[in-house]
Structure 1
Amino acid sequence: MSGSVRASHEQLAEAAHEDVLARAELASLGWDRDAVARQVNQGRWALHGSRTVALHCGPLAPGALQWRAVWESGASAALDGVSAMQAAGMTGFVEQHIHVSIDHRARFHPVSGVVAHRVRRRVKDEVLTNGVPRVRPAVAAVRAARWAVSDRQAALILVLPVQQRLVTPAQLVLAADQVKGRSRRALVAMLVQDIASGAHSLGELDFAVLCRRRGLPEPTRQVLRRGPRGRIYLDVEWEDIGLVVEIDGSQHFAGLAPTDDALRSNAVVLGRRMVLRMTLLGLRLAPEEFMDQVCEAHRQRTDGRRLAG
């Protein structure tokens, strides 16, 4: 043992992170490799890799697994992607592995249950060190979207932290500009702009182009109507057949917006119009499926007006 005073078990428990400590931390508290080995051999502690020591012999808690992932992955490692957002409080997403990012030049030994991503350069001050080392949520969200298994999953990963107020849309836009990478570059840039700008990015989406591709007449945009609380604007409408399409951006899911939207839609329906609703992100990810529904609704309304006439 070194000449330093050995911390008591109570002091170790106080210094531990979810009942785990790194070997370097234990050494600074007076517990060298031989002292740790005796606790392990006596069945009091357990090793979880070359750097992680649990002060018990049971399974590790989720938070302890995050610390282990960082320690075992190397000095440059930090939780990243979905794992960093979960450490920041994000819910509603299930991931089987813990994701970390490491410097692209760093040596890495595979760690069970951990996916390591090499990054060529980090954004300035992106790693938070109060608690388990983790990447800031906005940067982590952009990286997670690029690492996602599908475009649909990428969109969900970008939307969740905004909905749960872990990041602002502006922070997400900035992160998308700062975080370099080749995977899904165009899609991520488009999605974060949609999330930030909401429904008024309808012009960018150019719904009319999608209609022309399907042989539909071009609808009228931003139609002014009178609703239960005064004037309302409908995103698009075929006024001759009473077909309305509402395209909801991210602002439609915040605060009292769903209530206002329900009142508006009900007023339109009571005026004997058909209303189709879709999300802006959904139209990005599944345009053909949504346009199939628009075409079917247009056919039904057209046939109905023809029979009524």
Structure 2
Amino acid sequence: MEVAAVRAALWAVSDKQAALVVTMTVQQGLSTADRIGEALLAVRRDKRRAFLHDVVLDMLGGARSLGELDFARACRRRGLPEPTRQAVRRGGDGRYYLDVWWEPWHLVVEIDGIHHAWVDNVVSDALRHNEVAISGDTVLRLPLLGLRVAEDAFFEQIERALADAGWRAAA
């Protein structure tokens, strides 16, 4: 499966499509980021090899969607500290994952795809958000649409929240 995913990614029309192929393979439980990374090691020369290497590294770091990959790249571009991704928390209804968590600064960013607007998810998302806030972390929500149309405005808020919590950008 992982060889097929890597080959499909290499043949994809765009980098975005290539990233989608490998992230969907992991998202759907068909393979793991480790195994895709191992299959990618067999690729000696391809214009997309370095890009896919970065995607696999982000997935190994916890990114599980294109939005999370885009977010990780934007953080690096802006010089933000590396967060923990997919941090596990326990709540009343079991275990859940935080998309992005800067533990030293008590900041959580939830990257919301369209499924977060579905009726089935609105209440459970709000309950998880409240639990995280009650535990002392600040929670910022970043809808994927916001990442696409107002990236700078959302990242200004993220940077302000980190700075307010004591983070200082490298000089």
| Aligned partner letter, 1:202 | G
- Is residue 286 from structure 1 mapped to residue 150 from structure 2 by the alignment? yes
Alignment of 1:186-201 (within 5 A): 200-201=65-66
Q: Who is 1:238 aligned against?
A: 102
1:202 aligns with 2:100: no
Match of 2:120 among 256, 279, 283: 256
Does 2:75 match 1:218?
Answer: no
Match of 1:268 in 2: 132
TM-score when normalising by structure 2 = 0.58
> CA-atom RMSD, angstroms?
2.4
Which residue identity is paired with 2:94? G
Give the distance between the partners of 1:287 and 1:251, measured in 2 at CA: 20
Higher helix share: 2
Report deviation, 1:289: 1.0
Q: Is the contact made by 1:228 and 1:263 (CA closer than 8 Å) also made in structure 2? A: no
Per-residue Cα deviation, 1:133-161 (whole angstroms, up to 9, x for no partner): xxxxxxxxxxxxxxxxxxxxxxxxxxxxx
Q: Which has the higher contact order (CA 8 A, sep 6+)?
A: 2
Cα distance in structure 2, aligned partners of 1:244 and 1:270? 12
Offset at 1:203? 4.2
SS in 2 for 1:256: helix
The one-letter amino acid of 1:269's match is A
How much has 1:241 moved relative to structure 2? Answer: 1.6
Give the total of aligned pairs. Answer: 110
What residue ranges of structure 2 are gaps of 5+ in the alignment?
Answer: 1-13, 25-63
Q: 1:1-309, aligned counterparts within 5 Å?
A: 200-205=65-70, 207-302=71-166
Please give the alpha-carbon distance, in whole angstroms, between the structure 2 residues aligned to 1:201 and 1:263: 25
- Counterpart contact for 1:243–1:298, Cα < 8 Å: yes
Q: TM-score, normalised by structure 1?
A: 0.33
For structure 1, the 5+ residue unaligned runs are 1-185, 304-309
By how many angstroms is 1:273 displaced? 0.3
Question: Whose Rg is larger?
Answer: 1
Cα distance between partner residues in 2 of 1:274 and 1:290: 14
Percent identity among equivalent residues? 47
